[in-house]
Amino acid sequence: MNTPTLSKTKKTARGIFGTLIIPVAVGLILWIVCAANGVSMFSNAQSLTIFVRGVATVMLTTIALAINLNSGRFDFSLGSVATLSAVISAQITLNAGGNALTMLILSIVFGILLGAVSGGIYVLLRLPPIITSLGVALLYEGLAFTITKGSNVSFYGKTDVSGITTNVLYMLIIIAAVLLITIVLFDRSRFGYRYKALMAGQKVSVNTGIKEVSNAVVCYAFSGALMSIVGYLTATSVGIISVDILNFGSIGVMFSAFLPMFIGGFIGRYSNDKLGYLLAAITMTFFSMTYSALSVKSSTQSIINAVLLVVFLIYLSNEKTVKDIAALKHIRNLFKKKTDGETNND
């Protein structure tokens, strides 16, 4: 719409270019860097599994974060939802028997429940989510620890519950299914239209009679479902769930999703933001694979990631079209007093 003069083919070409430039360029550059050092990102049979699993994990986390953050809702509880849902479903599956699918389904069920409770606490208390989600994170961490009486959950020898995470095809199915469901739910469904309306114009939407409370709770439940899959993937691929997460040990997960969220939002301008999150996840996983291939120290990794985040933000903040990115706008608005940003007042 911004450039109505462009012809349709040109526009499509621009869309494709903008969509793919970041993952392709990053992949290429990192491939060259690896090659120059005589190593490869995909050096062994496991690499592809790791890669796909990495993409799945990052994408799901990013979407889970973005769903609420785009509406100005910070959610510190993401990591704790992942751990707690995995702990509960693992306890049930390990004690009562069941296979990988049972555990995955149980995880998702509890993820939805935990997400809904988290959202429920928010709408009930009507406090800024940045506060309630801190409380929820503490609560869920405590629960995960208490349920296992402080013992890590081990899957060792239970190959039947870890079948999914070692299979590339299954994980591709998970990625595709999540992407599809997310796009349908948020871009095509009635719920999604209401979600967007609330996001862009909270006051007008609420005055029009759109039910914000239920919409918010569904968002939290959905994000809980995604995080439960993340928790499941992590738990079963490693074979152990560490419950040593007391005192906010679980919130790091949220921070790791910032960079892919911004990248995904940027890509989304040229196509679809959910597709953007997938491509951003691929981009981020390229980095992870490279770090591993080059044995980059973890402190160096965190500096590189932080610098990337800042540089990308600087680019976004100083670009004229920055207003298009809802996520960034919301973050900025969040801590400022709201002006009438949501209506059309000039």
Residues 138-157 that bind other proteins (CB under 8 A): 138-139, 141-152, 154-157
Instruction: Tell me how far apart the alpha carbons of residues 266 and 311 are, in angstroms, rounded to a whole number.
Output: 14
Number of residues that bind other proteins (CB under 8 A): 133
105/308 with CB nearer other proteins: 308
Instruction: Tell me how far apart the alpha carbons of residues 221 and 310 are, in angstroms, rounded to a whole number.
Output: 31
CA nearest neighbour of 188 among 278, 112, 274, 119: 274
Q: Could you give phi then psi for residue 241, rounded to 5 degrees? A: -110, 120
Instruction: Tell me how far apart the alpha carbons of residues 256 and 234 are, in angstroms, rounded to a whole number.
Output: 15
**199 is an interface residue for other proteins by CB under 8 A:** yes
| Residues in CB range of 65: below 8 A, 6 or more apart | 75, 78, 223, 254, 257, 258, 261
Give the footprint of other proteins on residues 62-81 (CB under 8 A): 71-73
9/345 with CB nearer other proteins: 345
Residue of 22, 30, 34, 51 that binds other proteins (CB under 8 A): 51
CA nearest neighbour of 67 among 213, 286, 224: 224
**24 is an interface residue for other proteins by CB under 8 A:** no
Give the footprint of other proteins on residues 160-189 (CB under 8 A): 162, 184, 188-189
Give the footprint of other proteins on residues 84-123 (CB under 8 A): 121-123
| Residues in CB range of 1: below 8 A, 6 or more apart | none
38/96 with CB nearer other proteins: 38
Instruction: Tell me how far apart the alpha carbons of residues 26 and 344 are, in angstroms, rounded to a whole number.
Output: 38
**194 is an interface residue for other proteins by CB under 8 A:** yes
Beta carbon of residue 17, minimum distance to other proteins (angstroms, whole number)? 22
Give the footprint of other proteins on residues 267-326 (CB under 8 A): 284-285, 288-289, 291-293, 295-303, 305-307, 309-310, 313-314, 317-318, 326
Site string for other proteins, 254-273 (x = CB under 8 A): -x--x---------------
Give the footprint of other proteins on residues 120-139 (CB under 8 A): 121-132, 134-136, 138-139
3-state secondary structure string across 18-67: HHHHHHHHHHHHHHHHHHHCCCCCCCCHHHHHHHHHHHHHHHHHHHHHHH
Contact 290, 33 (CB under 8 A): yes
Give the footprint of other proteins on residues 211-230 (CB under 8 A): 212-213, 216
